[in-house]
Structure 1
Amino acid sequence: MIVDRNILFKNYFSGVKNYDEVLKSNMSINPYWEKLLNNLNQIGSKNLISKQNEIDWLMSENGVTYNVYNDPKGMNRAWNLNIVPFILSQNEWEHIEKGIKQRSELLNLILKDIYGKRELIKNEIIPQEVIYAHRGFLRQCDQIQYTTTKHLLIHSVDLSRGPDGQLWVVNDRTQAPSGMGYALENRYSISRVLPNIFKDISIKQPSNFFQDFNQMLLDAAPQNKENPTIVILSPGPHNETYFEHAYLASFLGHPLVYGNDLVVRNGKVWMKSLKELKQVDVILRRVDDVFMDPLELREDSYLGVAGLLEVIRQQNVSIINPIGSGILENSGLIPFMNAICKYFLKEDLILPQIASWWCGQEKERNYVIENLENLVVKRIDRSNRENIFFCEFLNESAIKNLKADIQANPYHFVAQDKISFSTAPDFVNGKLEPRKVMCRMFSVAKNNTYSIMPGGLVRVAAERENLFVSNQRGGISKDFWILTDEPQTNIQNYAWDTSCKIPISDINDLPSNTAENLFWSGRYLGRALVTARFLRMVLNKMNSIQYNNRKSQSDSLHFLFQSLTNITYTFPGFVGKERKEALKNPLNEIQSLMLDKTRVGSFAQTMTSFNNSYYSLRNLWSKDMWRVFDSIQKLWSKFNENKDYSVSELIKLLDRNITRLIAFMGLIEESILVEQGLLLYFIGLQQEQAMMNVEKCRSLLVFNHDKVTQYEILESLLTSHESLNIYRYSYRSYLSVENVIQLILLDKEYPKSLTYQLRRIQKDIDRLPHSESIGKTTQCQIFINEANKKIQSLNVEFLMELNKNESLRQNLDDVLSELSDLLHETSMAISDTYFNHSYQQKQLVNQNFPLS
């Protein structure tokens, strides 16, 4: 069969220089690609463009991100998924699957030997410098025994097509292999957006693999413990693959934790929850080796758990993968892998490797020096901070320097043949283009063998002639198809072991960092909404004065400006000695208060803090919440703090932002149960709204004004509080300070009154886990109880009393000041009781571990 070479394939075939996945050597189509290409033809170029745009939109809407360090576009770059999948035939897959199982088993034996008997070194199978000169070899992990059937429980291998047409091993990843979650999301997204691309094509689904993955986590628990507590340890939201950490936590149903969520006590690892310490049995880590234990490894690490290695030695916790497994990510091992395979398994490697020469051997070093221009050189323990040297592109001076480095430290370097990665079709600008491709495949331990993910993560180069296939360099991903003749179940048909209960069953088991971020996401959201409404009210007032310049309105507006500074704590602003300068052009000051992210107390900084706390909790939130969150980000990205905006433009920005924040608040209650942590969000939200309610009333109700000015200030307060209609319906009278105090501060039934907010905070705090001691209350309970008693003892007449010169309501100011202090003390007490992460053990002797 010949596929029509229409516009989809324009210039594709003529541009193919390397081995291409679609084409045979005689330029005919590989048979197993024909059905896919026919389906693409039937869909048509215009529809494919539309569907590719839909996939791009879906990646953004669902918050599928890959963090690129120092990216000018920002941290959370949307994941790139190309609509055209990558295909392997069933016959080739069976060979690859067998080869990956062999390689995983071989690396498992190497890992066991390196930190055990070290037969490979003793019997001169590998030189000792390959191990001991590698930054991944951790002497602290020597002779540690594990209870699991395998030492290496997860392994990923990067493969690319070699010059002989076979897939060759390029890299191994063994510390914390990434990509499984992205691969699964790729399959979901392609299936949702373009189901007809699968027409008449049967492909293997990853269901069984992920069931094996989950079972491996359960089986890893020490002493075959039933219902083990399994956690996923993440470095945090700024890590490049944080999306995947949160994705797998949500997908597998295990809590996502950070280093300071865990603590070592009595030879065991415990998770700090709101109520008590809960023993952890299995840690699936996404933190690199040297950061895992600041007590024995890198002492400056805040990502790991002090004392963890000693717990591992006592076999009281299982780490996946074991600390020290980074030694296997060692290109210096590649020249010796076939000899190692024969030593341990008495057979040759199934999967070929790139021809490699370790420079620590004289003969090999001389060959490398003589042929350097035709080779690729890298350190045996290369990190992302160190270059790979493509020597054909180096100038004479760079070649000379590299040779000198090799001669000076030969055992640090390995040289490899340059291979031209094969190309596969990528859909770009309405047609197919060949792009260099690399496949990452995954294995997990299963009984005495390994289970291999059918497919995996495929990455292609960002540009047509680009040598680099890397996400950090802008790479693009593909869905990975393994063809089969067997009928497959739905990709979402996952059934975990029902004997294992989900660890987070109620608020008592909530990790302390998660609880803290829930509390602060509520506070930041409350602060953002109150600030936005007050800013909008002030801007609307400025807009109306353009048409009416009565002195009273000007006086009231100046008072509102001062209140804006007081409420947001953005001093000096409109307060103090510099207020005259700010009042010359108040719009500049307000725009700064809105858009300057570096200004403490600004609306922009509050939104940044809210974004950070929300992103840290993304494993808890629904996709609808992410879409609203993403729309807020896109809205703000259009505004530049250095550009001058009109009053109406700023009002429009606030209107749209307020609508989205309210939508977000509504969706939160659909994402997580109150008893699973939503309670902390409610407390934070009410806490912040109550504190800002106090500040607004202190700024706008304490001072006594003339009748007209007072009316305008009261109207402004009620407007910013979204209470003007409620007031008119309730009192049907002229605005008065007395009635406003009654509604905004003392009304027991109005949800936006301070009395109601304080009662709600007290009620919710009483539902938090407390001391087991009978009759003992926490400090946060004591402070909020005192605040409630204070406000319940008040009456309007007392609060309305003026001082001697009748300039201010002193009683009101005193009461609000006291309530402000009590609310602040309540917040501090909540943090001290439930979110204290300050405990840290220190090493007695400083150790220096270079980044690996």
Structure 2
Amino acid sequence: MTTPLNPADGAAPASGAPTAVSSGVLAAYAATLRDRPADPLRGVDELVAGEGLRPEQQLLADAVDAMGMPGLLAARHETRRLVHDDGIRYGVSGRDGVRDLDWRLDPLPVVLSAAEWAGLERGLQQRAALLELIHDDLYGERLLLRRGVIPAEVVLGHPGFLRQVDHVRSRGGLVVGAHDLGRDADGSWRVLADRMSAPSGAGYAMANRRVTTRVLAGLHRSTELARLRGFFHTMSAAVREAAPPSSEVPRVVLYSPGSMSETAYDQSFLASLLGFPLAESDDLVVRDGRVWLRAAGRLEPVDVLLRRVDPEYCDPLDLRGDSQLGLPGLVEATRRGTLTVANPLGAQVLENPGLAPFLQAASQALLGEDLQLTGKPAWWCGDRDGLAHVLDSFDRLVIRPLATGGPERAHLGAHLAPDAREELRRRIQAEPWAWVGQEPLPLSTAPVVTPRGLVPGRVVVRTFWAQRDGERHVMPGGLARAGVGAPELHVSSSAGAIAKDVWVLAPETAESGWGDPGVRPELVAVRPRAVVAPRVADNLFWLGRYAERAEAAGRVLRVCDDLVEDHASRPGTPGEQAMRALLAAATTITRVPGDPAQPRAHVRTMVTDPRQSGSLRYAADRLGDAAQRVRDQLSQDIWHVLSRLDRTLAHVPSDEHQLQPHLYDVLESLLAVSGVIAESMVRDETWGFLDGGIRLERAQFTVALLAATLAQERPPIIDGQLTEAVLEVGESILTHRRRTVAGEGPVWPIHSAVSLLLLDRGNPRSVAFSIDRLAEDLHLVGDEVLAAKAEALAGQVARVDLVEACAGDRTGLAEILGEVRASLFAVSDDLTRRRFARKTSQQTLPINWAVTS
């Protein structure tokens, strides 16, 4: 018999006389609630109680009343814009080319009173303590199984029970955890699921708070809320505390399945909040029984993995052999005690629905007390009486397989077609130990803003905790999901639910300010700077290259488009020939084919076609992809700029409109990207790789531009116009004109252009300047061999004789540019080979264990 938290414990909706619903918007919502058809999966509402409002909802209701429907729709639009600008994503790209999906967030939060939350917090702490004791027993003495408190089949038959880590003691135990909660019909909270293996969503919870506080700024300022930031400080300390005792200064990494994970944003944002680097299996290696973070020529020991990879994929040697996400030898490192995995690899057994009928008995056995926060009553079909009850009550129960997460899923008996119902009954009778029947949880509703008004969405709240110094600290809030539409059994982001922030009202006795002035910040010993893994270095390098490539393409195509507008309709003129020369150069550089007879269409294709690998749009898209792969390394400000760039590129002007305004808007965003990068990154190894990509790309582009234009002799009048166009592409036309008038530079335009764009070490757009900066970046990343090669190339460029190079048919200039280009490509190839080398693809060889006579 379960004992849910009751109103006396502060877990049910706050008591007190509801206030009247006055506004048209809320009155319409209340009418919607009254007029809904009866359904067993529908419970109380979070905002409206009967004919009035719940007392703790008054501030939210007043804000809704003040906004009205126009204001709510504006808030909905602003929420979507901020989600896009912050780059909050959920899901992965599909084969149809669909990009990652924007996170779906409703502007209205779920509000919980301080008293209600206090009761919930106690229940969560007790449940977490119980689950940790169960975990330790199942991978230790297994007294619960020996004494029959929990049937052995429930545990040993569950795929989450990993025999490979049996009797492996994990320092810190369950370091973090999460629980999905919902309200019962009487308003009390119940547990839907325990997330003890690799709980996700804490990053999304903080992202939700950042958005809603901006959208509802006035309401947020006037509401005393419990803040979330402190929880992440506690969580960071808790994870570091779990390190093996031999670690003087623990090194922690967030172990991620990679950028193709559907929760990649959550992982990278959480890593930023906690201050831990994000690492994939390619970034790690096991040597001498411990885990190391890889970098070129050196390794750094790792003490704790905060795991987001599913346990069975973590080690292809001991666990799933076909895993490409795992780290061979990881399990052995945990056995030796050189590494703590948080949470332990075997913790997935605690997510087993088969435990639900036995948790109350386990609580009495291990804690000596009733469990405060429980799920709905459940029956294990492996028990004869339980099987009989499930089969007799089949149509009103939720039928859950013990092994969740695979092809099997939970079903509500009443929702199954007759044939499917009979098939499932036969399967249960054939393997009764593998199934559990449970009463469905109605779930409360909360208002969701839609174009047709406020509609009720069924709410599930995910709560989070971290264990530090033996105490479990619960995040004061969490991640709510609301399912809108016909009642469904599953309310989750993957099923299309919309997220909501959870606001916990601060208790009236809470002190404002910065907390206890006697508490000093935790001191962490200074350790050598962190290494940059090859995967991270590679993505930073290409982030810089694609940022520069997009900007360079934008500059040359802006000048091309300007010339096309002026001269395309004047065939045979010098201007038209200069236009065609620059257009040919742009075609050579971008490798985007086009019809010479259609210059306008050709320029538009080079700007907008995402399928052409040399187009501006393609480079900008790759820039965004590279940024997502190293999100934890970048300033949050960059996502606003990248989102603006994405919106600009998505709205291409029609053929009847000029392309120039579009190109100026694109370049404005790209310059903002460069500015955020330059002004927000510390000049350490990460900057060296990123800026090195920028400098190498700029030098290669400028060399290619000069080779395709000025390295070929043309009639003077055409040559003059083309030279000015090249100087404009290189942002050096004003310096050229100023120096020419003042007599400070070469007289001939070709000499001035080559001097400014190839040789001038003070011009940020010149090849010489870029090579000098590249050498500095290579010193910064610690590659003295390549830095020496870059310095030698800089000396080679400095020795170029300007007059001799530009004399005659300019073959000398073409040869010099060819040599510089080859040297730049060599540096790029050497850098890739030396610093970006990935681990070889891993594969566990199958072994034939057949016994031969």
Displacement of 1:167 in angstroms is 0.9
* Match of residue 85 from structure 1: 109
Corresponding position of 2:549:
527
Residue 629 of structure 1 is aligned with which of 642, 665, 670? 642
Looking at structure 1, the residues matched to 572 and 589 of structure 2 have their Cα atoms a distance apart, in angstroms, of 26
The separation in 1 between residues aligned to 2:534 and 2:286, in whole angstroms, is 15
Q: Is 1:656 the equivalent of 2:662?
A: no
Q: Give the counterpart of 1:56 among 80, 91, 108.
A: 80
Q: CA deviation at 1:490?
A: 5.9
Query: What is aligned with 2:818?
Result: 817
2:475 alignment partner AA: M
| Unaligned residue ranges in structure 1 (runs of 5+) | 575-581, 771-776, 803-807, 848-852
Match of residue 613 from structure 1: 626
- Counterpart of 1:836 in structure 2 is 837
Provide the C-alpha distance between the structure 1 equivalents of 2:807 and 2:226, rounded to a whole number of angstroms: 78
Q: Distance in 2 between matches of 1:364 and 1:680?
A: 62
In structure 1, the partner of 2:851 is: none
Residue 168 (structure 1) aligns with:
190
Q: Identify the residue that residue 221 of structure 1 maps to in structure 2.
A: 243
The answer to whether the 8 Å contact 1:440/1:458 transfers is yes
- Maintained 8 Å contact 2:234/2:466: yes
Question: Any residues of structure 2 matched to 1:317-466 within 5 Å, and which?
Answer: 317-383=339-405, 386-429=408-451, 432-463=454-485, 465=487
Q: CA deviation at 1:372?
A: 2.9
Aligned to 2:133: 109
Return the letter of the residue paired with 2:510. P
Return the alpha-carbon distance in structure 1 between the equivalents of residues 702 and 358 of structure 2: 70
Q: Which amino acid letter does the alignment assign opposite residue 416 of structure 1? A: Q
CA contact (8 A) 2:59 2:219 kept: no
Q: 1:434 to 1:488 in 2, by over 3 A?
A: farther
Q: C-alpha distance in 1, partners of 2:132/2:567?
A: 76
State which of 801, 804, 816 in structure 2 corresponds to 1:798: 804
The equivalent position to 1:730 in structure 2, one of 739, 747, 757, is 739
1:85-135 alpha-carbon deviations (Å, 9 max, x no partner): 223334433332222122111211222222222333333333333233323
Identify the residue that residue 692 of structure 1 maps to in structure 2: 701
**For residue 784 of structure 1, what is the amino acid of its counterpart?**
A
Distance in 1 (CA, whole Å) between partners of 2:133 and 2:93 is 35
Q: Secondary structure at the residue paired with 2:495? A: coil
Whole-angstrom distance in 1 between the partners of 2:153 and 2:577: 80
Q: CA deviation at 1:541?
A: 1.8
**3-state DSSP of counterpart to 1:324:** helix
Aligned counterparts of 1:245 and 1:73: Cα–Cα separation in 2: 23
Q: Which residue number corresponds to residue 784 of structure 1?
A: 790
Quote the Cα distance in structure 1 between the aligned partners of 2:520 and 2:87. Answer: 25
Determine the C-alpha separation between the residues in 2 that align with 1:157 and 1:443: 9
Partners of 2:90 and 2:154 in 1: CA distance: 33
8 A contact 2:21–2:53 mirrored in 1 = no
**What do residues 661-693 of structure 1 show as CA deviations (whole Å, max 9, x unaligned)?**
011111112221112522222211010000111
2:526, 2:421 → 1: CA distance? 57
Does the CA-based 8 Å contact 2:775-2:788 persist in structure 1?
A: no
Amino acid at match of 1:258: E
Counterpart of 2:609 (choices 596, 607, 614) is 596
- Over 3 Å counting, the alpha-carbon distance change for 1:23 and 1:183 in structure 2 is closer
Equivalent residue letter for 1:182: Y
1:595 positional shift: 2.9
In structure 1, C-alpha distance between the alignment counterparts of 2:353 and 2:406, rounded to whole Å: 14
Deviation at 1:518, TM superposition (A): 1.9
Q: CA deviation at 1:172?
A: 0.8
1: CA distance, partners of 2:283 / 2:535: 6
Residue 720 of structure 1 aligns with an amino acid whose one-letter code is: V
Q: Which moved more, 1:661-670 or 1:220-229?
A: 220-229
Amino acid at match of 1:485: E
Structure 1 residues 318, 490: CA separation in 2 closer, same or farther (over 3 Å shift)? farther
Deviations 1:11-39 (A, max 9, x none): 32333354324478754543333454345
Residue 6 of structure 1 pairs with residue 23 of structure 2: yes
**511-520 vs 822-831, which deviates more?**
511-520
Question: Is the contact between residue 205 and residue 491 of structure 1 (CA under 8 Å) also seen in structure 2?
Answer: no
User: Would the alpha carbon gap of residues 36 and 337 (structure 1) be closer, same or farther in structure 2, given more than 3 Å must change?
Assistant: same
The residue aligned with 2:725 is 716
Query: Which whole-Å deviations, capped at 9, do the CAs of 1:417-473 have from their partners, x for residues lacking one?
Result: 223211123344485433211111112213334222222222211337555421123
| CA deviation after TM superposition for structure 1 residue 654, in Å | 1.9
Task: Report the secondary structure of 2:718's partner residue.
Answer: helix
RMSD: 3.1
Partner Cα distance (1:533, 1:492) in 2:
53
Q: CA deviation at 1:817?
A: 1.8
The answer to whether structure 1 residue 498 and structure 2 residue 502 are counterparts is no
Task: Tell whether the 8 Å contact from 1:90 to 1:482 is kept in structure 2 after alignment.
Answer: yes
The verdict on how the C-alpha distance between 1:388 and 1:598 changes in structure 2, with shifts beyond 3 A counting, is farther
Output the TM-score relative to the length of structure 2.
Answer: 0.88
Q: Distance in 2 between matches of 1:827 and 1:491?
A: 50
Cα distance in 2 between the residues matched to 1:56 and 1:384: 32
Aligned-partner Cα distance in 2 for 1:820–1:251: 42
1:579 aligns with none
CA contact (8 A) 1:8 1:430 kept: no
C-alpha distance in 2 between matches for 1:727 and 1:23: 68
Give, in whole Å, the separation in 1 of the partners of 2:223 and 2:376: 33
CA distance in 2, matches of 1:526, 1:24: 54
Matched, 1:127 2:151: yes
1-structure distance, mates of 2:760, 2:111: 67
CA contact (8 A) 1:459 1:470 kept: yes
Output one character per residue of 1:731-752: Cα deviation in whole Å (capped at 9) or x when no partner: 3487643332222222233222
Q: 1:279 to 1:812 in 2, by over 3 A?
A: same
Change (3 A) 1:492 1:667: farther
Give the counterpart letter for 1:799 in structure 2.
A
Does the aligned pair in 2 maintain the 1:36–1:198 contact within 8 Å?
Answer: no
CA separation of 1:170 and 1:625: change in aligned 2, threshold 3 A: same
Size of the aligned set, in residue pairs, is 819
Name the amino acid aligned to 1:697: L
| Overall identity of the aligned pairs, in % | 28
1:638 paired residue number: 651
How much has 1:526 moved relative to structure 2? 1.0
Instruction: Give me the whole-angstrom Cα distance separating, in 2, the residues matched to 1:374 and 1:60.
Output: 41
Instruction: Report what 2:571 is aligned to.
Output: 549
SS at 1:619's partner residue? Answer: helix
* Cα pair distance change 1:72/1:353, threshold 3 Å: farther
* Secondary structure of the structure 2 residue equivalent to 1:485: coil
1:170, CA displacement in angstroms?
0.5
Which AA in structure 2 matches 1:786?
A
Q: Which residue of 2 aligns with 1:668?
A: 677
* Structure 1 residues 219 and 723, CA gap change in structure 2 (3 angstroms): same
Aligned match for 1:681, one of 687, 690, 699? 690
Distance across 2 between alignment mates of 1:837 and 1:371: 56
Q: Is the alpha carbon distance of 1:358 and 1:187 closer, same or farther for their aligned partners in structure 2, counting shifts above 3 Å?
A: same
Residues 819 and 24 of structure 1, relative CA distance in 2, 3 Å threshold: closer
Quick check: 1:537 aligned with 2:549?
Answer: no
SS class of match (1:509): coil
The two structures have a TM-score, normalised by structure 1, of 0.89
Shift of residue 83, structure 1, vs aligned partner: 3.3
- Whole-Å separation in 1 of the counterparts to 2:374 and 2:768: 73
Deviates more, 1:605-614 or 1:290-299: 290-299
Contact residue 628 and residue 660 of structure 1 kept, 8 A: yes
Q: Deviation of residue 139 (structure 1)? A: 2.4
- Contact 2:685/2:781, CA 8 A, preserved across alignment: no
**Structure 2, unpaired ranges of 5+:** 1-17, 849-853
- The residue type paired with residue 750 of structure 1 is N
- Corresponding residue number in structure 1 for 2:288: 266
How much does 1:588 deviate? 4.1
After superposition, the Cα gap between the structure-2 partners of 1:846 and 1:220, relative to the gap in structure 1 and judged at 3 Å, is farther
